[in-house]
């Protein structure tokens, strides 16, 4: 550091601002309407009073003046201010702080008066204050200047000193001086930090997955987009707002996989929708048996009318029949024998799949084309993408691609399907993915669920990573679901829907308790519809009504539409998991039996503070699933959960309020 | 991010490097001989093998090539490498990592062979490998090139494939390929990080404080530098290696304070050494009654001969009589009545002290002069400075001043006397202070000591902050010392000397158990030598011999010369504090009774892993204070401590070793 680079009179230090992701290298994520709570350590040498403000503005208006929020000190030199974000896209903020000589003088003047300062001393002090007010008046514009000059006139008058001191206590004067403060030596935080603001659905969404080709209303038929449209009322009634479809593109025939992922396909096998590309086209085409692009657009529109967004699956890989293979062979890795490198995990070979070669000399053209795939579908009205295996494509690609697309469509939502190591999952989130799949399916004990959700719902992770939890997917039929029976499906759905503000199910299989694995030790479904057309006839006594109830509870309780207030409460039975979420007046407590086989009972020890309750008053726990209402009288409460009946309570906590007329009701 | 700025083929991500202080804004601190352990999260998309290196060099050789240390993967995508620092000053490091296509191919080749790949397939693979070796040969210099070409010739020969595969397994080939790796798309960590290397005394030092004016060998005399010289053998025998003297400059007379800090001084009162400056001079002069600058230099040299460094106290403030007041009135704040602003904490006034006005227009001249004060004494041979109240001077000043001085004298040590809020103390350490005073004096219970030392001896704090712990100072006579008796002085000395690798005492008072406060509730000494000349006659049965023993134990046990391995062990009595330190073969366990009034006994539960012991073998605990030897057989061991006898054990742990000749001894 050379002294010439800076003004040594900037004495305030600003450190450790939050939210800050990797020193400002990536934005922190919020949604429209959020209050961004900015904090920093702010201090200086000596005992002078500091003033500090958060400066913020939308990144699209770099020339606009910063808006300012005054920060207030907490404890241990930590300061805080909030600002609300009301527009999509990037918001930028930083912090400015300065020694406030006027406030220092004002504080000390009070101490001097209280300490019995002499009249001579007070006269000198009033002169010092007068000079500061004078300087502020010089900086101020018309109205403020006139008001400040009025104070100066009072100080210059013959009024007795006590009256002048009275005048200086005015809140008006403090506000005027704050607005026109001397900020010549104000220090700035060393960098500007970003907030990326998405629409509310980025934080709160309810997903349903189905295979369009299995949507036919008649056995033995290949489903179409029109068949999917016919399912919309049912999906909407269940309370889902995103309908996710596996890839809808033409499917390759070369090395096509047979039923149950057999290496040899039978002539009538339909193949995996993830083997993308055939003579009919690639990532910008649709599989002819599903319909046309117009039919797809019609589905997107009909879904929107039903309150549902269609999420497309984007899987960046090509079957050997993909037009890219012929048109852009440079985008694939050529082996010395002149063949194209297929996907491998030696000694396993996936000859039906060609990965893209991202170290190609033509990498820029490849990047452009891949981005254009998203753009193509965005132009057709799609705003939600589920990206298949993003962790097998370069992280810098995603950072560029997603940011570039959101510049044009800031309402886009990208869900990362990356079941990989934690640091890679978090980096994908930093690179721009809006939501991410999680390890939820494999977190089953009280301890596992507590540890994992405490990690992903608190900063620093929660500033960048938004979980979307799935009890099952077409690739994941956990051992617990295979052997736990109906109570497991019920319990895991309730946990998914309440632990996380975003969750989803691979619906046709989940509703019907489909639980048979391809073979022992596998998480693959037997006769998976990844490789064949299924027919899902209407079912009775399936999970539908529970799903309807749970999703209604989510809609009616804003506490469940976010994760930041998730709090786990101790219980004396390790099979009973208890947690709560609160938002404003709304408070939800969930008590779940995580053992699907046995009834468990125990005491839960509620953190009443986290629920906004005081210990002195009874409160009502209203079970939103059964309708039962209990009056509770303190932190310790007893629950008993029989998984064969219902493995969990979802309580709404209602505070008892006594009005003036001595009438009790619950809020 | 615009795509043009970077090459999208750099696919490796490097994150969260350590040691890293505030994103690289400040150096991490180490001493000569340390191995700097560098870690980072390193990963990429897909399944390719990564190679990574730490690049490092001394900052004084910016044009030198980076030295490289190969990193090895730990768990969870964390990688590590060490490099040793052997020169004072700043070292710079960063990390480079790349997809290692050769190692990926090499790993996969083994899997292919194990998986029974066809001969055709292997032939293609050998061709891919050959091309990579060929490319490495083109990059390599003479000798490596010839060796790589020999491998190519083998691959090109008619040898059967199994023999070629054998050849490829050679460690030689792996080393050659590592040295000549393809690093075209290597990624770099986004910034270069600094290590500041000090001499060993920065981390391990033993301080003794005395007032030179009280060093006279005869009552009623004003001590001199020559008197201090006469004390050197005694200080050296006790095992101290830094002798810290309060300010030695001329003392102001205007508003001089009297005995016990009275506002009115008597004519013969000598004043406080911290009221610096009189007609005889200021910060570059010495108080005439102590001697001359030559006498001081003589003392510095004599101390050096005795293995002791003299630490000067630098207090940046002026008495009204300081020459600066006359020569540089711009360096002080002028009040509207034409008087200079004295120090105040309203309603308290310190009219004998003028603080410097760091917002002066002449701030640059002021900075230069203050730096020159240090330079002046450094030229006289002083290399250790204790800085008085650095937190009342601007933090940017220290950052500039210390770095500038260390450019010329990289062996300087600065101790910050900042008893203030934690974030300010840590920021002073970031600004360049080598060591800092701590809250040790007020951390007295087991919990308080454990919490505090866990905070300050572990990263991130330990990378920037080096504690120097003092049970007393001339300003701090804790209530515990006032009322705890001799056992408290013993216990607190042992704790200071073993918890922290640097500690110090205000010796004449500590040795003699001086414990009377000026008044109830005060931590000031009664008749403090801050305001008067004292005479300290030789004492009998004082703490000297314990100090001799404890400091000898510190010298003979390298575990006590560092803090990074400090580990606390559980005990079942909250009055018994147990902790250990290890270094190489040396392991020390301390068990202390923190209650000075009562005997306590209890079980300690040693973390044998932290001590490098395995559970199966007995070991010896050798009490280095009493000489007693105990054979212990596992983690749980009983101790009983009577504070009236000795309030602590300092055990050296000796592992029992069985040699070939069945002869047991303890290491």
B51-66 pLDDT tens trace? 999 999 999 888 889 9
B661 touches chain A (CB under 8 A): no
Q: Across residues A451-459, what is the average pLDDT?
A: 98
pLDDT on residue B658: 54
Decide if pLDDT at A540 tops 80.
yes
pLDDT (tens digit per residue) in B471-527? 999 999 999 999 999 999 999 999 999 999 999 999 999 999 999 999 999 999 999
Contacting residues of A for B9, CB less than 8 Å apart: 358-359, 363, 394
Q: Across residues B102-116, what is the average pLDDT?
A: 96
B337's CB contacts (< 8 A; 6+ apart) are A124, A127
Q: Using CB atoms within 10 A of its CB, is residue A294 exposed (0-12), middle (13-18) or buried (19+)?
A: exposed
Q: Tell how far CA A389 is from the center of its chain.
A: 20
The Cα B583–Cα B561 span in angstroms is 9
E-strand stretches of B501-575: 502-506, 567-569
Who among B190, B364, B427 is closest to A3 (CB)? B364
Q: How confident is the model at residue B6 (pLDDT cuts 50, 70, 90)?
A: confident
Contacting residues of B for A363, CB less than 8 Å apart: 8-9
**Contact (CB<8Å) A363/B8:** yes
pLDDT on residue B1: 45
Evaluate whether B90 touches B197 at the Cβ level (below 8 Å).
yes
For chain A, what percent of residues have pLDDT higher than 90?
A: 94
pLDDT (tens digit per residue) in B409-433? 999 999 999 999 999 999 999 999 9
The Cα B595–Cα B597 span in angstroms is 6
**pTM summary value:** 0.95
What residues 96-115 of chain A have any CB closer than 8 A to a CB of chain B? 108, 111-112, 114-115
Evaluate whether A214 touches A223 at the Cβ level (below 8 Å).
yes
DSSP B631-658: EE-SSEEEEEE-TTT-SEEEEEEEEEEE
pLDDT (tens digit per residue) in A27-60? 999 999 999 999 999 999 999 999 999 999 999 8
What residues 112-141 of chain B have any CB closer than 8 A to a CB of chain A? 112, 114-117, 124, 127-128, 131
pLDDT (tens digit per residue) in B236-268? 999 999 999 999 999 999 999 999 999 999 999
What residues 450-469 of chain B have any CB closer than 8 A to a CB of chain A? none
**Contact (CB<8Å) B10/A128:** no
What residues 546-605 of chain A have any CB closer than 8 A to a CB of chain B? none
pLDDT on residue B468: 98
The Cα A539–Cα A238 span in angstroms is 14
More confident residue, A330 or B4: A330
Evaluate whether B383 touches B409 at the Cβ level (below 8 Å).
yes
B338 touches chain A (CB under 8 A): no
Nearest CA in chain B to A25: B190
B342 touches chain A (CB under 8 A): no
Q: Across residues A300-309, what is the average pLDDT?
A: 98
**CA nearest to B243, candidates B255, B256, B254, B230:** B230
The Cα A510–Cα A532 span in angstroms is 18
Cβ-Cβ contacts under 8 Å between A and B: the total is: 150
Least confident of A60-64, A313-317, A550-554, B315-319: A60-64
For chain B, what percent of residues have pLDDT higher than 90?
A: 94
Q: How confident is the model at residue A654 (pLDDT cuts 50, 70, 90)?
A: confident
Question: β-strand B586-593 against B648-658: which pairing, if any?
Answer: antiparallel
A330's CB contacts (< 8 A; 6+ apart) are A357, A360, A361, A362
Number of C-beta neighbours around residue A626 at 10 A: 11
Nearest CA in chain A to B407: A1
**Contact (CB<8Å) A13/B392:** no
pLDDT on residue A663: 52
Q: How far is CA A145 from CA A106, A142, A176, A442, in A?
A: 20, 5, 9, 66
Q: Across residues A315-342, what is the average pLDDT?
A: 97
Evaluate whether A547 touches A575 at the Cβ level (below 8 Å).
no
Who among A190, A392, A421 is closest to B46 (CB)? A392
Evaluate whether A612 touches A567 at the Cβ level (below 8 Å).
no
Number of C-beta neighbours around residue B238 at 10 A: 22
Nearest CA in chain A to B339: A124
Q: Using CB atoms within 10 A of its CB, is residue B450 exposed (0-12), middle (13-18) or buried (19+)?
A: middle
DSSP B295-311: HHHHHHHHHHHTT-EEE
Q: Using CB atoms within 10 A of its CB, is residue B231 exposed (0-12), middle (13-18) or buried (19+)?
A: buried
For an interface test with A, give the residue of B18, B156, B346, B425 to mutate (most A CBs within 10 A): B346
Q: The tokens of A204 are what? A: 């709160």
DSSP reduced 3-state for B550: helix
Q: How confident is the model at residue A61 (pLDDT cuts 50, 70, 90)?
A: confident
**Contact (CB<8Å) A396/B423:** no
Q: How confident is the model at residue A1 (pLDDT cuts 50, 70, 90)?
A: very low
Residue in this structure with the two tokens 């904090």, named with its chain if needed: A39
Decide if pLDDT at A662 tops 60.
no
Task: Work out the minimum CA distance from B291 to partner chain A, whole angstroms.
Answer: 34
pLDDT (tens digit per residue) in B159-200? 999 999 999 999 999 999 999 999 999 999 999 999 999 999
B615 touches chain A (CB under 8 A): no
E-strand stretches of A339-437: 343-345, 348-350, 384-388, 413-417, 435-436
Among left, alpha and beta (phi > 0; psi -120 to 50; other), residue B509 is alpha
Q: Using CB atoms within 10 A of its CB, is residue A77 exposed (0-12), middle (13-18) or buried (19+)?
A: buried
B77 touches chain A (CB under 8 A): yes
Who among B45, B111, B400 is closest to A3 (CB)? B400
- Asked if A527 is an active-site residue, the reply is no
DSSP reduced 3-state for A486: helix
**Contact (CB<8Å) A423/B76:** yes
Q: Across residues A227-249, what is the average pLDDT?
A: 98
**C-alpha dihedral sign at B395, B438, B243, B384:** negative
Beta bridge partners of B354: B318
Nearest CA in chain B to A431: B1
Nearest CA in chain A to B48: A392
**Contact (CB<8Å) B421/A10:** no
Which amino acids of B are annotated catalytic?
A: 388, 417
pLDDT (tens digit per residue) in A12-28? 999 999 999 999 999 99
The Cα A401–Cα B571 span in angstroms is 57
Q: Across residues B541-550, what is the average pLDDT?
A: 97
Q: Tell how far CA B77 is from the center of its chain.
A: 29
**Contact (CB<8Å) A344/B108:** yes
**Contact (CB<8Å) B346/A112:** yes
Q: Which of A196, A227, A369, A417 is catalytic?
A: A417
The Cα A510–Cα A497 span in angstroms is 14
Evaluate whether B437 touches B475 at the Cβ level (below 8 Å).
no
pLDDT on residue A664: 52
The Cα A400–Cα A364 span in angstroms is 11
Long-range contacts of A656-660 (CB under 8 A, 24+ apart): A656/A617, A656/A618, A656/A619, A656/A620, A656/A631
**Contact (CB<8Å) A395/B44:** yes
pLDDT on residue B5: 58
Residue A137: how many CA atoms within 13 Å on its side-chain side? Answer: 16
A524 touches chain B (CB under 8 A): no
What residues 148-187 of chain B have any CB closer than 8 A to a CB of chain A? 185
Q: How confident is the model at residue B661 (pLDDT cuts 50, 70, 90)?
A: low
Q: How far is CA B140 from CA B170, B177, B178, B187, in A?
A: 18, 9, 11, 21
Q: Across residues A539-551, what is the average pLDDT?
A: 96
**Contact (CB<8Å) A423/B367:** no
pLDDT (tens digit per residue) in B607-635? 999 998 887 788 999 999 999 999 998 99
**Contact (CB<8Å) B367/A45:** no
């Amino acid at each position: 550091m050379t002294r010439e680079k800076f003004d040594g009179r900037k004495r305030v230090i600003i450190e450790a601002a939050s939210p800050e992701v990797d020193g400002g290298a990536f934005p922190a994520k919020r949604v429209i309407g959020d209050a961004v709570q900015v904090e920093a350590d702010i201090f200086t040498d000596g005992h002078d009073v500091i003033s500090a403000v958060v400066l913020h503005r939308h990144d699209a208006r770099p020339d606009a003046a910063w808006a300012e929020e005054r920060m207030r000190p907490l404890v241990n030199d930590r300061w805080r201010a909030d600002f609300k974000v009301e527009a999509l896209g990037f918001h930028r903020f930083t912090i400015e702080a300065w020694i406030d000589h006027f406030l220092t003088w004002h504080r000390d003047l009070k101490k001097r008066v209280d300490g019995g300062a002499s009249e001579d001393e007070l006269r000198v002090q009033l002169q010092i204050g007068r000079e500061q007010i004078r300087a502020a008046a010089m900086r101020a514009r018309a109205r403020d200047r006139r008001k400040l000059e009025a104070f100066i006139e009072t100080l210059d008058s013959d009024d007795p000193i006590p009256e002048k001191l009275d005048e200086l206590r005015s809140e008006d004067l403090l506000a005027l001086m704050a607005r026109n403060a001397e900020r010549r030596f104000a220090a700035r935080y060393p960098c500007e930090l970003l907030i990326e603001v998405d629409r509310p659905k980025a934080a709160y969404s309810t997903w349903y997955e189905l295979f369009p080709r299995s949507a036919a209303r008649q056995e033995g038929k290949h489903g179409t987009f029109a068949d999917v449209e016919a399912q919309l009322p049912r999906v909407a009634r269940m309370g889902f707002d995103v309908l996710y479809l596996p890839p809808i593109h033409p499917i390759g025939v070369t090395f096509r996989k047979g039923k149950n992922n057999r290496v040899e396909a039978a002539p009538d096998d339909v193949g995996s929708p993830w083997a993308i590309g055939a003579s009919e086209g690639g990532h910008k085409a649709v599989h002819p048996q599903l319909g046309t692009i117009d039919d797809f657009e019609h589905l997107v529109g009909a879904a929107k009318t039903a309150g549902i967004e269609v999420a497309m699956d984007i899987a960046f890989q090509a079957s050997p029949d993909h037009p890219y293979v012929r048109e852009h062979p440079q985008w694939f890795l050529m082996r010395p024998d002149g063949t194209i490198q297929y996907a491998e995990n030696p000694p396993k070979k996936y000859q039906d799949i060609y990965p893209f070669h991202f170290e190609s000399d033509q990498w820029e053209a490849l990047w452009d084309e891949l981005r254009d795939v998203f753009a193509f579908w965005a132009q057709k009205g799609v705003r939600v993408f589920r990206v298949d295996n993003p962790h097998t494509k370069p992280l810098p690609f995603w950072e560029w691609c997603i940011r570039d697309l959101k510049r044009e469509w800031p309402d886009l939502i990208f869900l990362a399907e990356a079941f990989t190591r934690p640091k890679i999952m978090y980096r994908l989130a930093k690179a721009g993915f809006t939501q991410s799949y999680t390890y939820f399916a494999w977190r089953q004990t009280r301890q596992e669920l507590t540890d994992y959700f405490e990690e992903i719902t608190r900063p620093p992770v929660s500033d960048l990573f938004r979980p979307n939890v799935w009890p099952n997917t077409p690739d994941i039929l956990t051992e617990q679901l295979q052997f736990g029976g109906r109570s497991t499906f019920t319990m895991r759905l309730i946990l998914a829907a309440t632990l996380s503000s975003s969750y989803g199910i691979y619906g046709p299989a989940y509703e019907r308790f489909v639980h048979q694995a391809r073979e022992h030790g596998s998480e693959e479904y037997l006769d998976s519809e990844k490789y064949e057309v299924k027919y899902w006839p209407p079912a009775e006594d399936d999970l539908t009504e529970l799903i309807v109830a749970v999703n209604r509870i989510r809609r009616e309780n804003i506490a469940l539409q976010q994760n930041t207030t998730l709090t786990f409460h101790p219980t004396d039975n390790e099979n009973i998991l208890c947690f709560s979420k609160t938002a404003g007046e709304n408070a939800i407590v969930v008590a779940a039996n995580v053992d699907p086989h046995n009834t468990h009972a125990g005491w839960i020890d509620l953190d009443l503070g986290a629920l906004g309750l005081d210990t002195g008053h009874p409160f009502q726990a209203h079970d939103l699933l059964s309708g039962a209402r209990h009056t509770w009288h303190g932190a310790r409460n007893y629950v008993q959960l029989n998984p064969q009946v219902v493995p969990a309570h979802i309580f709404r906590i209602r505070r008892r309020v006594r009005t003036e007329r001595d009438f009790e009701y619950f809020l």
